[in-house]
Structure 1
Amino acid sequence: MAANVEFVRYIEELLAPLGSLTTGPFFGGRALKYHGRQFAWIIGSTLYLRVGDTTRADFEAEGAQPFKYTTKKGEVTVRKFYTAPEFLLDDPGQLLHWSRRAIDAAAD
């Protein structure tokens, strides 16, 4: 599924305070990068953030799910990217905070 163009613009506006944000195609969606590090991606109208060993539990505690897709051989789970918890889309300050943590996870 392609990224929803309007949703991508909305997320770009919310993340503008980060500066140095670039986007590009990725897995049929849009990758979001900070200084060349992919920390997020959008598919459809879903934002996925990069997680690491120190942040995964926080995402899971908020009900976030890892990215999954199905192949002929079965379901594949990508545990490096989780859905952004819903409350982040209503709280730009928290979205920036969690995005900075995703940037840190992308650096590991």
Structure 2
Amino acid sequence: MSVDAGLVEWIAEAMAPIGHVTMRRMFGGAALYCDGTIFALLAMDDLWFKSDAESKPLWDAMGVDHFTYPKKGGMVGITSYRRAPSDAHDDQDAMRHYGELGLAASLRKARRG
């Protein structure tokens, strides 16, 4: 998968009031960081935000999928990343809101260790 540079620029612009967004390519996609803290992934031709137990009800209420991946033996792995709701792609405030949710989830995990 090639990383959509325009999408990365859009995310960085939306998140600018929060912090500086950088990208690191990984596994055919990319990880997005805000001031050094991972908050989103670009993978499987979509954008995925970090979630945790605290933010889970918000993501569930929006009805967005978990990022999943195939495992050996036909099993499916489920991650803590959630698909970006469609309004994130055309509403800068929505993108910032979802980005802040992802960033907050990562920061909580870092504090827990």
Q: Percent identity?
A: 27
Runs ≥4 residues deviating over 2 A: 1-19, 71-74
Contact kept? 2:11, 2:95, Cα under 8 Å: no
1:1-16 paired onto structure 2 within 5 Å:
1-16=1-16
1:16 offset after TM fit, Å?
A: 3.4
The TM-score with structure 1 as length reference comes to 0.83
- Give the distance between the partners of 1:6 and 1:45, measured in 2 at CA: 13
TM-score with structure 2 setting the length: 0.80
Q: Secondary structure at the match of 1:17?
A: coil
Determine helix, strand or coil for the equivalent of 1:53.
coil
| Alignment-derived partner of residue 17 in structure 2 | 17
The structure with more strand, counted as a fraction of residues: 1
Letter of the 2:64 partner, please give it: A
Query: Cα offset for 1:26?
Result: 2.4
* Aligned match of 1:60: 60
Q: For the residues of structure 2 that align with 1:50 and 1:93, how far apart are their CA atoms?
A: 18
Once the two structures are TM-superposed, the CA of residue 4 in structure 1 deviates from its matched residue by 3.1
AA at the equivalent of 1:46: D
SS in 2 for 1:101: helix
Distance 1:6 1:91 in 2: 15
Residue 52 of structure 2 aligns to a residue whose secondary structure is coil
- How far apart, in 2, do the equivalents of 1:94 and 1:7 lie? 14
Q: How many residues align?
A: 107
